[in-house]
Amino acid sequence: AVFPGEDSYWDRLAIGRAAQLGTSNANPIVYVPGSIGCSVDTSLTYGEFDLEFFATLTNEALTRGGRKAAGQTFVDVGSGCGRLVFAAAALWPTLDRCIGIEVVELLHTLALEATPRAKSELELVNCDVQQQQPEVHLVCEDALQGLARLAGGVA
């Protein structure tokens, strides 16, 4: 599995919580813009979607009004470890791109570490139908900067 069981969920949750609360050392991993007060960054909250709910909700968004998923771009702002980015690529192989934007470096690193396993599993999932696979991009930056760059493509 790309993202092993419940133990790894709690590890990812702890990383997200540490980012939200900051650390007491000289190099905090908290993202300062958006914070209120000096103790909690309210712009950072880590959680994970139920994959079945995600699939239902995203399919509705992608196909609303008779549209097709083919050629569209999926963007997950606050993508954490990339779980939903890889799920979108597996569920909708005709998407053009699946992009994850995450500001917490440790969560972004988990996504990068999962990428080879995820791409291997995507090939297995999509090999029977001989379909294209969406480009998967994971970036570690502020969401507003990342979204602004999307207009001109992903570097």
Q: Judge whether 123 and 134 are in contact, CB under 8 Å.
A: no
Average pLDDT in the 2-24 region? 66
Distance of alpha carbon 92 from the chain centroid: 15
**Residue 29 reports pLDDT greater than 60:** no
Task: Give the chain's domains with CATH numbers.
Answer: 9-152 (3.40.50)
More confident residue, 13 or 23: 13
Average pLDDT in the 4-33 region? 60
Residues counted in the chain: 155
pLDDT in tens, 35-86: 444 455 556 677 777 889 999 999 999 999 999 988 899 999 999 889 999 9
Residue 119: predicted pLDDT: 81
Residue 1: predicted pLDDT: 53
Residue 43: predicted pLDDT: 64
Give the span between the Cα atoms of 125 and 66, in whole angstroms: 25
Question: Which amino acid, 89?
Answer: A
Q: Judge whether 79 and 101 are in contact, CB under 8 Å.
A: yes
Residue 37: predicted pLDDT: 46
For residue 117, give the nearest of 15, 3, 26, 11 by alpha carbon. Answer: 3
pLDDT in tens, 80-133: 889 999 999 989 989 999 999 998 888 899 899 988 888 887 776 655 555 678
Residue 100: predicted pLDDT: 95
Residue 35: predicted pLDDT: 46
Model-wide pTM > 0.75: no
Sign of the four-CA dihedral 139, 142, 146, 147? positive
Give the span between the Cα atoms of 18 and 9, in whole angstroms: 14
